[in-house]
Structures are given as structure tokens and as C-alpha cells.
Amino acid sequence: SPGSVWPHPFSHVSTAQTFPVAVETFVFTYAPKSFKCDLLAEAFKRYEMIIINKHIQTLVTFRQLNTLTVTSLQVNLMAACEEYPSLDMDESYTLDVNSMAQASLSAKSVWGVLRGLESFSQILWESDSGQIVANKTNIIDKPRYAHRGILLDTSRHYQPLDVLLENIDGMAYNKINVFHWHIVDDQSFPYVSTVYPNLSQMGAFNPLTHIYTPEDVAAVIEYARLRGIRVVPEFDTPGHTTSMGKGQPGLLTECYTGCSPNGNYGPINPTVNTSYTFIKNLFTEVKSSFKDAYIHLGGDEVSFACWQSNPNITKWMKDNNITGDYSKLESVYIQQVLDISAAIGYSYIVWQEVVDNGVKVKADTVVEVWINNHPDNELAKVTGMGYRALLAAPWYLDYISTGEDWKRYYTYEPSNFNGTAEQKALLIGGEACLWGEYVDGSNVTPRLWPRASAVAERLWSQETVNDVDAATPRLHQHRCRMVQRGIPAEPLHPGYCKHEWRN
């Protein structure tokens, strides 16, 4: 039915009774006892423009109709605004359009208000006569999981700043609340460090154009903050660091053939103190730039071959009684990085290999499960160890197949692993991951949406909201909504949108 909300709310009751909406003069107002803040003032401006621009072709106005009309949305924010979103933020809200065409939104936090504003914008729809209307509606809503993320990789291909901001808008339209910024990797180091400027000078694809300056990073964080979205950076080590080594001589391990270096380099050298000094200085700078409590430390896909070839590494391992145990060598490195991060004030997320390889981590570590080989078993293992978990394995959006592959993402139920109720409570959410090998600014957005929308509903809505047939027309409607708002989301199936994409 028109005016559906995506992701599906916890409770959504509407009737066939509709009211015209005063699009041209619509305003948001505060309830008498509501808290106020600049963040909400900005949100009101955005959604006023969404409502006006979305329905700019409307020919019939409320002035021509002798009936009850929705002219405003009264917002009641019940607590003072928080400055930045967090893992513990309250995103619940109540939205009501009553029989007198009075619309109201109430929430315990500013983040709940933002989610409610998005839902309100979605319940508005265009009738056959061209009039924008809203059904008599009551929504009581809250997310199922606290962490609902999108990973974008800006190393394999550089993603222009405006493309990142466009997709942060897409996240807001889908109630995604974490931008996991996989900002650097082997291929390039676009992050401009003021402490180590050679990292981007030597490691970026182009040190003048394909970089993210401190001002760019601040712009992304602020843009996301205004939409209730956390920005969690990932600086993956000790592997995936080829570009890092270009600007930091002595950081990476020299690979040997026989008794001589062969010109290749492997993971960060874990046996020298300079490696940890570098990490400490870089992460201290990152902490001052990124405002979230969490950093993603990576720790995945560490190849031991170069360490095995290097005689200095071999000697160090012998001297420290770990000869031949390269998982233990990796643990030595990871443990130091975890301690450094904690001392700086970070909480952290790691890929699953860190705990799979037996690294001792803090009790509040978040482990992200990504290997798509029995992820249910891995979730059971990780939560059985008492760690909080994120699920990414079934939602790698860079795996492309013909047809409606969103259905595969939609039908994967994250809670279906063997474990106690306490273990299942340790699953705090998940992420849809779009790695950058084959996407850049030309195609990243349509490849992301609306496929990531399927993951968004799985993480926001209740477990019982899982009917693909029921979801299909709602997702088609939401895809058209995103297109109308300027997000070039790809089609689900043969069909059309009333307002087609215009670049």
C-alpha cells in the first residue's frame, strides 16, 4: 500500500482515512515542553525540503479542498540533545496522525526524533488526483539491533566526497546508523595524516586529488552526525598495509628469498618498537579526528609467508620462545595494538581472525564475523566466549548475481545460531559491506541501494518481518522514493517509478 515505511516499524497501524497535506506551507513545530537544539533545527530544514521537493509537481493544493488538512508535525523531544550518536543511543519514537489530521512525533532522544522524521516523510504519498495525503496512522517504533552499518571501502577505488555524502543520505533514508569507513588498505592510503604526511603523499593514488583531508573527514563526520549516523574508521593492520609502508620506511617486514631480501614486503614488522610507536602516534591523531568511541582495528587475512622468510623475525621468535608459532607472533602484535588503542581511549572492533587465532582481547571487544563459511557456528563461538558480535558474512554486497539478489540478504536471519538467550543478546547488529575492487563514484551508489535496504530492514525490524512477497512491493516503493530524492538506486525488477531518475 502507498505510504509504507521502510524498514517496517515495530508497530504500524493505519486506516483508509486520508488527509491532504499542506505541502507548500508545511512546517515542523515543537511541543510546548519539548527540548530544542540546533541538530533538530537542521533536520526540520532537511525534511521540509524533502517534502516540498518530493512533491514539487503537485497541482492540487490543500487550499482547494474543504477538509481537514495536515499542516504541521508537532515534535516532542523529551530529553536534551546529545552531541554525537553512540552505540547506546535511544532511537525509539512514537508517530501519530489522528482523526483530526493532527500529526505528532515524540521521542526520548534526538536520534529517535530523526528516525521518526524519516518515517513521517515516508507515510506521505501522492493520490491519483495529484494531492499529497497521509493516512490516519499510529507508529510505535524501535530498532531490533543497536549497530546497523554500511562498510564502504575507499582504498581499492577512491570514492569522491560528494559520493560519500550521497550514501550517508541513503543510510539515513534506511535508518542505518553506522558508516564503517574502510578508509585505507593495500592499494592506497587516502587519509591525510598531519603527523605522518608521507602516508598519503607516497601511498595515495594521487596525493593532490585522491585524498581525504582533515577538512574532508570533519565534513563527513558532521554530515553523518546531523543524520544520527556514527562514523567508525578502520585502519587495518598488520596486514593490508602495503600503501602504509610506502610512506613509512621500516614499517613493513622485508621478505627474503634464501639469505637475501627479494624486494617484496609483507605485514607490519611486529618485532621492533618503532612499529608500535608509529601505531600509537597515528591512532592518537585518528582519535582526535574521529569522534566515535570505537575504532575498527582489522586484523584479518594476515599472511605469514613473509614473516617466515625473514631471518630477523625467526631469530626474534627463537629469543622469545615462540619458534614456528606465527599465530602467536600475530597475537604479540595484535595485543600491543589493542593495549595502545585502549590507552588512547578507544573501544574497538576486530575481524573474527583475531579471536580465532587465540589473541587475548578485552571483555568489551566487538568481534565482526565475516567469513561466509558457517557464520552461525562462528557467532555461537564468539558469543560463547562472552564477546559482543557483529554479523557481516551473509551481506557482502560486492558479490553480484543476476536477478533479485536482495532476497538472499533479506531472508538471512542473524539470530538463528545455537546459543543461549544471553549469547544472542551479545549479537549487537551487523553490516552490509561493499568492498571497492569494482566500484567507484560511477557505480557505488546503485550497487549499494536498494540491496543494502534489505539488510537495513533485517537489522531494524522484528524477526517475524521476513516475508519476501510482502516486502517486494514495499521495497519497490522505497526504491522509487530514494530515486525521487536523488539516490540512483538500481531497479528491483521490471517496472517503473512515477518519478524516474534524473541526473
Q: Which of 42, 83, 301, 422 is labelled catalytic?
A: 301
* DSSP string of 385-411, one letter each residue: TT-EEEE-GGGBTTS--SS-THHHHHT
Backbone angles phi, psi at 462, to 5 degrees: -65, 160
Give the span between the Cα atoms of 19 and 470, in whole angstroms: 25
Q: What is the pLDDT of residue 440?
A: 97
* 137-175 tens-digit pLDDT: 999 999 999 999 999 999 999 999 999 999 999 999 999
In the three-class reduction of DSSP (H, G, I as helix; E, B as strand; rest coil), residue 19 is classed as strand
pLDDT at position 357, please? 87
Q: Is 24 annotated in the active site?
A: no
* Sequence-separated (6 or more) residues with CB below 8 Å from residue 171: 150, 177, 179, 224, 227, 229
* Whole-number Cα distances in Å, 139 to 15, 31, 134, 192, 482: 12, 18, 13, 44, 21
Given a cut of 70, whether residue 58 has pLDDT beyond it is no
Nearest to 244 by CA among 287, 201, 181: 201
Question: Which residue do the cell numbers 505541502 mark?
Answer: 23
Residues in the chain, how many? 503
Query: Is the pLDDT at 439 greater than 90, yes or no?
Result: yes
Average pLDDT for 202-211: 98
Q: Is the pLDDT of residue 54 over 80?
A: no
Domains of the chain: 11-141 (3.30.379.10), 147-467 (3.20.20.80)
pLDDT digits (tens, 9 = 90+) for 224-253: 999 999 999 999 999 999 999 999 999 999
pLDDT for 62 equals: 45
Q: Are 36 and 118 in contact (CB under 8 A)?
A: no
pTM, entire model:
0.96
Q: Tell me whether the omega of the peptide bond preceding residue 7 falls within 30 degrees of 0, making it cis.
A: yes
CA dist 195 and 214 (Å) reads 12
Checking if the pLDDT of 6 tops 60, the result is yes
